[in-house]
Amino acid sequence: MKQVDNRPNLPSFMLGFVLLMLLPVVIAFFDVALGSHFSYETRLIIWNQPWLLVATIVIFLTWASARRANERFVQIGTPDLAVIGLLLVVSVVLSRLISANTQIADMHLLRLVLAILLGISAYYGMKTYQRHFSNVIYRTLIVAALSVALLTLIYVYLQEVSRDLGAAIAWYLPGFGPVRLFGVFYEVAIVLCIGLLLTARARLTIALLGAALIVFWVALFWSGGRGALLSLFLTIGLGSLFYRRYAAKMWLVFLVSGVAGALLSLLLWVPDGTAFGLRNLLQSAMRDDANAFSAGRIERWLAAIELIKEHPFYGYGLNQYSNLWSGYIKMDERVGISGPLSGYFLSYRHVHNIVLEACLAWGLVGGGLFLFLLFKTWFKAAKRIWLALPIEKLPALLALNVLLFHSNFTGIYIFPHSLFYLAIFFGICLAPNTAQNENTNG
């Protein structure tokens, strides 16, 4: 007798996730249509809200699907749940009593809660549907990345904008808030393509993925993202240690496509007044000043350490770095930085380092708990993948690692776009493996 599958319908359950993956395309379309008609701060507000709304919809649909299937939605162990609850309680108290800007603290607390629930949703989806779920995530994001590349081309070359086009796109590109999230988006798309290419068999699939991969490299080099390049190298290195069977092919695909993308990016026009383009990237890498080479990150990190020293136990609340200017006007003198970048840390919105950001937000104790929980979660996911080497999780593992590596150089944990991607790939990697997974690591 044929068994009846009582699982919820995949298309209806995946609708929210598909919309979330395609959200950069929707926002990019409106960017192209409306042009630069908003201030940067106003645009950030407009850009953030759809991510929060769609994430809420995804969480609700997942919870409803789990309830209909009589399954548990929350799959977190009691000790981990207790630590998460403690951090959330501490965050609420800090945002009310200590934070210089309670509105920002509350907003980032909401994003953190949504990210945790979104990760649980992805865990449930992967546990229930396995490769059917992950393939939808991978392919939809790749389609979104191709669409955004096309819309960016239209925006830069065809749309009538102000004469100072460099100033118009120096802070953002279609589909994103801060311009560096463009690079974060394409580093994820790159590793997803590499992960899928390693096991692709159909010639048409290989050709399409290969073409998309080169397009993504071109977009990344054109945007001038240095942190993304370093994160990609580290990710491929770590990924080849896990999936040793594909290590040589992984490096070959990575290097050949990367060189091709770098050369093709030289053909594109680079707007004046920006740090875009491969030439600018190489010039910045040759700077003698370490702080200038890091685009001011060393300055920010040293300033953050000084701030942590003053509030080592309870921190300042979530994402308060840009509001800690009072009394620190001469911070550049205290950290020993001089030159054209000195003193400008006051205008930065975050520290560009997840370790320092955690300690600023929750103090050394709370930040230590958060980082321990983050590493413990990654280790649990890595161990689960190492034991079975499920090929459907290879792209997710690469995407998870590239985001975690990049979180040491930029604020992917601040913005909902990259934070939610991080949560989704965590959920996919943590989900149980199927009995059909290959179990060879040679």
> Is 439 within a domain?
no
What the block records as the tokens of 359 is 């300690």
pTM for the whole structure? 0.87
Contacts within 8 Å (CB) and 24+ apart, 382-385 = 382/242, 382/429, 384/429, 384/430, 384/432, 384/433, 385/242, 385/429, 385/433
Q: What is the pLDDT of residue 217?
A: 95
> Is 249 within a domain?
yes
Grade residue 309 by pLDDT with cuts at 50, 70 and 90.
confident
* Average pLDDT across the chain, whole number: 79
Contact 182, 166 (CB under 8 A): no
Q: What is the pLDDT of residues 226-236, one digit of tens each?
A: 888 899 999 99
Q: What is the pLDDT of residue 218?
A: 92
> Is 127 within a domain?
yes
> Is 3 within a domain?
no
- Which of 82, 120, 114 shows the shortest CA–CA distance to 106? 114
Residue 67 has pLDDT above 60, yes or no: yes
Q: What does the DSSP 8-state code read for residue 2?
A: P
- Which of 430, 434, 435, 437 shows the shortest CA–CA distance to 122? 430
> Is 442 within a domain?
no
Question: What SS3 state is found at 257?
Answer: helix
Grade residue 266 by pLDDT with cuts at 50, 70 and 90.
confident
> Is 245 within a domain?
yes
Residue 308 has pLDDT above 70, yes or no: yes
Contact 97, 402 (CB under 8 A): no
Q: What is the pLDDT of residue 325?
A: 52
Domain containing 79: what range? 10-430
Residue 345 has pLDDT above 60, yes or no: no
> Is 436 within a domain?
no
Residue 49: partners with Cβ closer than 8 Å, 6 or more residues away? none
Residue 381 has pLDDT above 80, yes or no: yes
Q: How many CB atoms lie within 10 A of CB 397?
A: 25
Amino acid at 100: A
Of the given ranges (180-184, 215-219, 355-359), which has the lowest mean pLDDT? Answer: 180-184
Q: What is the pLDDT of residue 214?
A: 96
Of the given ranges (171-175, 205-209, 216-220), which has the lowest mean pLDDT? Answer: 171-175
Of the given ranges (1-15, 124-138, 203-217), which has the lowest mean pLDDT? Answer: 1-15
- Total count of residues recorded for the chain: 442
Q: What is the pLDDT of residue 298?
A: 79
Q: What is the pLDDT of residue 344?
A: 40
Residue 335 has pLDDT above 70, yes or no: no
Contact 48, 82 (CB under 8 A): no
Query: CA 41, CA 56: separation in Å to the nearest integer?
Result: 23
Residue 211 has pLDDT above 80, yes or no: yes
Burial class for 269, CB neighbours closer than 10 Å (0-12, 13-18, 19+): exposed
Residue 343 has pLDDT above 50, yes or no: no
Grade residue 313 by pLDDT with cuts at 50, 70 and 90.
confident
Q: What is the pLDDT of residue 4?
A: 44
H helix runs in 198-347, sequence order = 203-223, 226-242, 247-265, 278-285, 290-293, 297-310, 331-335
Contact 397, 121 (CB under 8 A): no
> Is 368 within a domain?
yes
Q: How many domains does the chain have?
A: 1
Grade residue 84 by pLDDT with cuts at 50, 70 and 90.
confident
Query: CA 65, CA 68: separation in Å to the nearest integer?
Result: 5
